[in-house]
């Protein structure tokens, strides 16, 4: 059944249940409310007030009649009409004056009181006789819409009616939102890189518009997965095929250097470009391996984070001195169970990226903090460069993504360092994020969970 007819059927069922339940309660379950009997309209209690009103009218006029009419019990600010024995109105006409005149004529002919329901109002009419013997007909509203809203029975009926409607609407809401929520969750997983995300659970088959949408989404996800796998396989195959020619090029360059010595600038340029190409191929192979979920050939090991950070600072010391950049910060110690070379490569890529895009003589903050309450460790690298446009902060972790103008290829990067760092951190169950600093520059934060062996260790801080 299509979704249109399902929604129609739900609402039709809810309306039918509301009406049926209210009618059944009113007919089958007699109900009384405290004070309801005293609030009932009782014509006998009105008669003395009305007789006094017509006598006052004969003696003092219209205002005297209206003053007496305000004393009517259980009637709040009624619309009241007074007619003589010929059916002529004796008071200023109100909005229901034509209808009241017809009621007065009927009452004059039958000489009996009469009730008429007019929309949400109830009108009452009866003949009267004054002390002088003159005959009158009086018509006034007994119940008004405002009075009905203040009646407890009205709200009781409303509550009874809302019970089946609420239940049916709850079922409809669950029926509609569950597949939409499942589709949203699958879209989030797909956007985060989980190419196996699907919206239709195994064994579940919906034959409506939402089911068709979920199937189309799964078809799209399968197509994207095939394309991404083909792309990764292509990059890995090309990188692998380039390895052998590059090895032969290195051998040929070694022979040329042996033959012509170190004085040839052409050999030096070819060797430098070959080295760049070799580095690019190695990074492509590493990224392809990480994206496929394969860890490079190393085992998990328990390492000291402070020793790792100090070792990294020693490695980038030459580059920081070349750019006259100082690296400051607080580095606390904790032992983590990680892939040492892979984690080192990730942090080194972020740190080298900060050095590459910081101005000469700039200052870089490199912090490593342990947060025992959150059971995590945070590594921050804050540079003082030009930053990144806000809309591209997540894109910088994509392969070969570059921003302009401060992070172009002339800076010496390949566009793979942060992508490798992101995959490596995810393989450790962590998160890497970037944000722009208020004072200028980019802040990259790596958050890693504390593994079981580290929870019993101690930590210290060092600057």
Q: Any idea which residues carry the catalytic annotation?
A: 240
Q: How far apart are CA 327 and CA 321, in angstroms?
A: 10
3-state DSSP assignment of residue 440: coil
| Integer CA distances (angstroms), 339 to 59, 291, 344, in order | 108, 16, 8
Task: Give 102's contacts (C-beta < 8 A, 6+ positions apart).
Answer: none
CB 331 within 8 A of CB 377: no
Q: How far is CA 288 from the centre of its chain?
A: 34
Q: What is the rounded radius of gyration, in angstroms, for the C-alpha atoms of the chain?
A: 44
Q: How far is CA 30 from the centre of its chain?
A: 47
3-state DSSP assignment of residue 239: helix
3-state DSSP assignment of residue 377: strand
Type and span of the H or E element at 269 = helix 265-291
Identify the burial level of 380 via C-beta atoms within 10 angstroms of its C-beta, where 0-12 means exposed, 13-18 middle and 19 or more buried.
Answer: middle
Q: How far apart are CA 293 and CA 300, in angstroms?
A: 15
């Amino acid at each position: 059944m299509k979704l249109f007819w399902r929604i129609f059927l739900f609402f039709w069922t809810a309306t039918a249940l509301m009406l049926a339940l209210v009618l059944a309660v009113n007919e089958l379950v007699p109900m009384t409310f405290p004070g309801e009997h005293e609030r009932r309209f009782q014509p006998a209690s009105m008669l003395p007030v009305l007789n006094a009103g017509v006598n006052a009218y004969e003696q003092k006029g219209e205002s005297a009649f209206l003053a007496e009419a305000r004393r009517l019990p259980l009637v709040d600010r009624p619309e009241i009409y007074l007619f003589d024995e010929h059916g002529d109105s004796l008071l200023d006409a109100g909005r229901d004056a034509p209808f009241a005149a017809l009621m007065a004529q009927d009452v004059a002919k039958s000489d009996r009181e009469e009730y008429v329901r007019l929309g949400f109002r109830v009108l009452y009419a009866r003949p009267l006789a004054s002390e002088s013997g003159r005959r009158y007909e009086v018509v006034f509203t007994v119940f008004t819409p405002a009075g009905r809203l203040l009646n407890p029975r009205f709200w009781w009926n409303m509550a009874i009616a809302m019970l089946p409607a609420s239940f049916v609407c709850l079922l409809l809401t669950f029926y509609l939102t569950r597949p939409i929520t499942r589709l949203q969750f699958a879209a989030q997983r797909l956007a985060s890189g989980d190419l196996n995300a699907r919206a239709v659970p195994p064994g579940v088959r919906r034959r409506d518009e939402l089911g068709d949408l979920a199937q189309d989404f799964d078809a799209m996800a399968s197509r994207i997965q095939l394309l991404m796998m083909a792309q990764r396989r292509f990059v890995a195959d090309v990188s692998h095929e380039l390895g052998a020619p590059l090895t032969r090029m290195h051998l040929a360059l070694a022979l040329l250097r042996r033959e012509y010595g170190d004085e040839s600038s052409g050999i030096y340029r070819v060797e430098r470009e070959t080295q760049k190409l070799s580095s690019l191929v190695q990074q492509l192979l590493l990224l392809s391996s990480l994206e496929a979920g394969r860890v490079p050939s190393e085992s998990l090991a328990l390492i000291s984070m402070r020793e790792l950070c100090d070792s990294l600072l020693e490695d980038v010391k030459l580059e920081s001195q070349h750019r006259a950049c100082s690296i400051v910060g607080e580095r606390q110690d904790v032992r983590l169970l990680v892939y040492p070379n892979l984690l080192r490569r990730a942090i080194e890529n972020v740190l080298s990226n900060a050095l590459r895009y910081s101005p000469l003589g700039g200052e870089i903050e490199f912090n490593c903090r342990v947060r025992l309450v959150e059971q995590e460790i945070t590594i921050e690298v804050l540079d003082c460069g030009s930053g990144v446009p806000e809309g591209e902060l997540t894109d910088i972790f994509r392969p070969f993504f570059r921003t302009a103008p401060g992070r172009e290829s002339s800076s010496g990067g390949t566009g793979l360092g942060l992508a490798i760092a992101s995959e490596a951190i995810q393989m450790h169950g962590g998160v890497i994020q970037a944000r722009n600093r208020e004072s200028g520059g980019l802040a990259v934060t790596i958050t890693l969970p504390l593994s079981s062996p580290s929870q019993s260790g101690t930590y210290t801080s060092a600057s």
